[in-house]
Amino acid sequence: MFAGHFALAAIVKTKQKQVPLWVLMLSTQWLDILFVVFMLSGVEKMTKVGEGNYGANLIYAGYSHSLLTVVLFSLIMFFITKNRWGSKGALTVAGLNFSHWLLDLLVHRPDLPILPGNIGHFPLLGFGLWTSPITAACVEGILILLAIILYGKYTYRMGGSTRFSWLNSGVMGLALILSMVSDFLGI
């Protein structure tokens, strides 16, 4: 869902003009950035549990991907960005950060804890769409297609030529598609 997170940021950008696209895209990826830091430090890990490559891993992200961590981090992002982009922009940044967890909830196997470190040993969450890689890829592909179409229209409305708008959107879309395909193929 890596490309799907970026696609959602591009879709949101079409309605949120004041916050730069790079900020929106970064806000969708903070949880995975935290996960990589925690994984490199040995606090969190990933284990292969399925066939193929796309979604074939079970993550142990008890801190970076817990529901409480995401809520707290989204609030922190809101307050950090509020002075720069106002309440509406800050709410968008915080919402995109939270959207990462929601999209992960859709595709992950049950590996998302409610509390950091799975304190209380509540059931782990995840609807497991990755257990059907083709279905998960189709959902992600739909997000990418919507991003290409909506972002192309957006750049055109913002004063770009038709050719430039669709080229810009197409390049972004191609990057997202290549990201999704490389994830699917494990390259």
Note the pLDDT of residue 55: 66
pLDDT lower than 70: segments of the chain: 1-2, 50-56, 159-187
Domain ranges of the chain: 2-185
Whole-prediction pTM: 0.80
Note the pLDDT of residue 119: 93
Note the pLDDT of residue 165: 55
Note the pLDDT of residue 187: 47
C-alpha closest to that of 63 among 102, 100, 103, 118:
118
141-163 residue pLDDT tens: 888 888 877 877 777 777 665 55
Task: Count other Cβ atoms within 10 Å, centred on residue 1.
Answer: 26
13-40 residue pLDDT tens: 888 888 988 899 889 988 988 888 998 9
As given in the structure block, the two tokens for residue 86 are 């106002």
Note the pLDDT of residue 10: 83
- CA separation, residue 97 to residues 80, 88, 94, 146, 161 (Å): 13, 14, 5, 19, 32
As given in the structure block, the two tokens for residue 104 are 């992960």
